[in-house]
Amino acid sequence: MNLIQAIIIAIVEGITEFLPISSTAHMKFTNPLIGLQPSAFSDLYEIVIQLAAILAVVVLYYKQFFDFKKIRFYTKLIIALIPAIIAGVLLKKHIDAMLGNLVFIAVVMIVGGIILLFIDRLFTRPKIHTQDGVSNRNAFIIGCYQVLSVLFPGLSRSAATIIGGLQQKLDRRTAAEFSFFLAVPTMLAASVKSFYDVHKTNPEVFMKDNMTLLAIGSTVAFIVALLAIRFFITYLQRHGFRIFGYYRIVAGTVILLLLWKGIIHA
């Protein structure tokens, strides 16, 4: 991975992490388009810059994250995180195999897009309008929805958890913000696990040049994500999910065509 490739992937991650269009899918599709071959470092890089992008949530919502009087806030995040941890441990081989299957990811992109076309019609009567109104039960069920994004790369973690929130009667803004909050411990756990695995099997990855790329990419992803979060919350409240559904269908179809023509390879 060179500097230009690192920056491109970081920009893609920062833009797509909080939109319901799957940052994982976009990074996996971008890699072959810019000539980046899979490697232990590229896998580590993709996970860590996701954490960097998600740390933008901590900055924008710092009052939530650093109000230590509200223990329930942290409790709900831990409860919501449990299903994904269990799924990640038990189904690691399946997850790794699916992450390398671009055809599968493209199909999931399309199916997820079709679902988003109808989401605004399905959930029209929210009852929970603040984070304080989210119960432990709501949090756990949203966490179960997050497991779907673990099992089906390309579905989008944010899409799965936001839909879970809407199904639990959260309004759009509250569902989106809970999805953002849940992303922080989720990606922190994934980053720690990735660092441990890579250090154990490929310690040479942690050379100075790679760590420099990781630092630059993390900074770029963080800055771009700050802008993307503000855009998404405003757009979602005004317009809903339909445009993201159409985008996913088009993007997934284009990737399938590129794979079929041999322009990129699965």
Give the model confidence (pLDDT) of 47-76 as tens digits: 888 888 888 989 988 888 888 888 999 999
- What's the pLDDT score for residue 265? 67
Report helix angle 23-33 to 102-122, nearest 10. 140
Low pLDDT (below 50) residues in the chain: none
* pTM given for the model: 0.86
- What's the pLDDT score for residue 223? 94
Query: Is 79 inside any structural domain?
Result: yes
Distance CA 46, CA 155 (A): 17
Number of domains the chain is built from:
1
Q: Which structural domain, as residue segments, surrounds residue 250? A: 3-261
- Other Cβ atoms closer than 10 A to 75: 12
- What's the pLDDT score for residue 224? 94
Query: Is 266 inside any structural domain?
Result: no
Distances (CA, A) of 152 to 22, 83, 124, 183, 237: 11, 15, 26, 17, 27
Q: Counting Cβ atoms within 10 Å, is residue 122 exposed (0-12), middle (13-18) or buried (19+)?
A: exposed
pLDDT in tens, 195-226: 777 777 777 777 778 889 999 999 999 999 99
